[in-house]
Amino acid sequence: MDAAEERVTVLFLSFVSGKWRKIITPIAAIAVISAFLFFPKGQADDNTFVMSEQNPFPELIEEKIEEEIVSSIQIAPAPIVVDVKGAVRHPGVYSMQDGDRLIDAINAAGGYLPNADSRMLNHAMKLADEFVVYVPIIGEEVLDISFTPLSGASAPQDDGKVNINTADEKELMTIPGVGPSKAAAIVQYRTDHGDFKSPESLMEVSGIGQKTFEKLESQITVN
């Protein structure tokens, strides 16, 4: 091969090599980018899918479910029993629920009679177990017994009388005819003036007159 042929061969090979480099380089770059974009992403997706089926905090999830179940359970109100007396259609003992109001007891007893006097009754008052709801008739002297407890074992003495010098409000309310307001007035009188000297001293309490005292006299004592 002479010098001219040799030079042509070298130029041809250089031309071919350069051309293929221009072709191969973009192809290689595309292959690398494709591998980066598709293969790692697919693998990551697989890992994500697998992890999504696993609960990383099972104890927390179970605790939350238990709390939701407990909160969804409604605790039934405790039953109470009240005695409805006086000017109602069906006087008697009725089973109510804790949280019921005085008006609920009146409705349970059939409502008021036409001659009932409900002006002094607090219809919004909450009922309590073993309480008496008394509805007076029109013209009857109201003795504040619209909400009086039926029993109070600690209140009466051996003779059945309540010591108005030592009884608290709850015990005073065990006296038929003494409701929350009169019981509070009796306690306040003792605070302001000291013990009652005699049962008749009860008439010095605001709201307790001669007629009221006559109805309470047989049930109270100062001994």
Residues 115 and 180 in one domain: yes
Residues 101 and 152 in one domain: yes
Once rounded to an integer, what is the mean pLDDT over residues 162-186? Answer: 87
| Alpha-carbon distances, residue 132 vs 50, 128, 170 (angstroms) | 68, 9, 14
More confident residue, 135 or 12: 135
pLDDT digits (tens, 9 = 90+) for 159-170: 678 999 988 888
Once rounded to an integer, what is the mean pLDDT over residues 132-156? Answer: 60
Number of folded domains in the chain?
Answer: 2
**Are residues 114 and 137 in contact, defined by beta-carbon separation less than 8 angstroms?**
no
Q: How far is CA 86 from the centre of its chain?
A: 34
**Are residues 113 and 87 in contact, defined by beta-carbon separation less than 8 angstroms?**
yes
- Identify the pLDDT of residue 76: 63
Once rounded to an integer, what is the mean pLDDT over residues 82-100? Answer: 92
Residues 18 and 119 in one domain: no
What is the overall mean pLDDT for the chain?
74
Residues 51 and 102 in one domain: no
Q: Residues with Cβ < 8 Å from 121, sequence gap 6 or more?
A: 102, 106, 135, 146
For residue 176, what pLDDT band results from cuts at 50, 70 and 90?
A: confident
Q: How far apart are CA 167 and CA 220, in angstroms?
A: 10
CATH number at residue 176: 1.10.150.280
Residues 135 and 151 in one domain: yes
Exposed, middle or buried, 145 (CB in 10 Å: 0-12/13-18/19+)? buried
Residues 36 and 144 in one domain: no
Q: Residues with Cβ < 8 Å from 190, sequence gap 6 or more?
A: 165, 196
Of 56, 72, 88, the residue at which a domain comes to its end is 72
What residues pair up with 116 in beta bridges, in sequence order? 137
Residues 104 and 129 in one domain: yes
Residues 51 and 107 in one domain: no
Which ranges of the chain does DSSP label H, i.e. alpha helix?
3-52, 58-72, 102-108, 169-172, 180-193, 210-216
Domain enclosing residue 27, as ranges: 3-72
| Alpha-carbon distances, residue 21 vs 9, 11, 29, 89, 168 (angstroms) | 18, 15, 12, 110, 108
Of 72, 97, 117, the residue at which a domain comes to its end is 72
pLDDT(154) > 50:
no
Q: How far apart are CA 89 and CA 110, in angstroms?
A: 5
Residues 44 and 119 in one domain: no
Residues 213 and 145 in one domain: yes
- Identify the pLDDT of residue 42: 47
Residues 114 and 40 in one domain: no
Residues 63 and 114 in one domain: no
For residue 91, what pLDDT band results from cuts at 50, 70 and 90?
A: very high
Of 41, 72, 103, the residue at which a domain comes to its end is 72
- Identify the pLDDT of residue 98: 87
Once rounded to an integer, what is the mean pLDDT over residues 77-90? Answer: 89
